[in-house]
Amino acid sequence: MKTGLIFGCFDFLHIGHINILKRCKQNCDKLIVGVCNDKHIIDRKQKQPLNNENDRLEIIKSLKYVDDAFLVYGDLIDYKDFIIDNIDILFAGDDHKDEKQFIMLNKETIFFPYTKGISTTQLREKIKG
């Protein structure tokens, strides 16, 4: 049985999120999702998430492609021991291809292209009008 892991913010869930989770699940038997906590999003993106971390976690857990999910309090490398012991394959968007943490973890990694024409940032702008 192959276990996969993807980390993400998953704020304001949209078709791009569904597409990447579906692709992840097609490449593993068990998909675990790390949902970034609010502080991590604020620190990295300098934006307040639209949905709080507990709501985002529950939304992700409810999706049919997701077998398990947990809140993340850091980067992938902060979960090195968990990944080494429990994960067979890592997944990420292709905008993360050059991040050294994937090389340092030395795990099979698949980078998926983003769904064109959709992002949480674009949706935020549409809502603002």
The set of catalytic residues is 45, 47
Beta strands in 9-88 (DSSP E): 30-36, 68-72
25 token code pair: 């699940």
Q: What are phi and psi of 9, to 5 degrees?
A: -85, -45
Are 2 and 110 contacting, i.e. CB atoms less than 8 angstroms apart?
Answer: no
Residues 38 and 89: their CA atoms lie apart, in Å, by 25
Q: How far apart are CA 110 and CA 118, in angstroms?
A: 21
What backbone torsions phi and psi does residue 100 show, to the nearest 5 degrees? -65, -25
